[in-house]
Structure 1
């Protein structure tokens, strides 16, 4: 009875904690841009993450620009991971001021990504 009420639940919680880190897959992030009719459209594609809890924002300078951002939903992939995107319109001459900020449980800290910089490839606490 002691085993079932105390020892077993403690062990189960311990092993679930070990597995949680394996289940948190950090996202891959790709930032792209294209110019149309004098406007720069910047896209931040985030994919291959698990769980589906994620925050993706566009920043200009140090400020988050949520009102100007268009988001895609968080969509499941066939492998059980998820993907999403965020897009913003900018002036071409202000391109260097924009960054995509991604926050996910599988990442050690929020990532900041710019168009033209190296993509982020799953460097986090998960196994990915």
Structure 2
């Protein structure tokens, strides 16, 4: 749920909101594999032998992880585009949805059952837009 201030600031008392935001995130493409590839490349370069480093200085092989980083960046761009597409169809902002939910909870004494339709409507729309 990185990159979203709502995820970071969600009250633990709003369990349905937290679950909804997690489910929204799960609709987005995962970039875990690309991130792990970049991490492994960087560790490999950092732990390379002296001979490998000399080879890089002579133009043999590569001392960088540029290709891996570009693939990760492309994945993050795809993820952001999917998120923007979903949000453009479902109320422009999950922050707005979370704010409406928090206001509803305040007005109804933290009764999640009374405020659940806000979350259900958002998730139904998000699932449809992501399909």
* Same topology, TM > 0.5: no
Between Structure 1 and Structure 2, which shows a larger proportion of strand residues? 1
Between Structure 1 and Structure 2, which shows a larger proportion of helix residues? 2
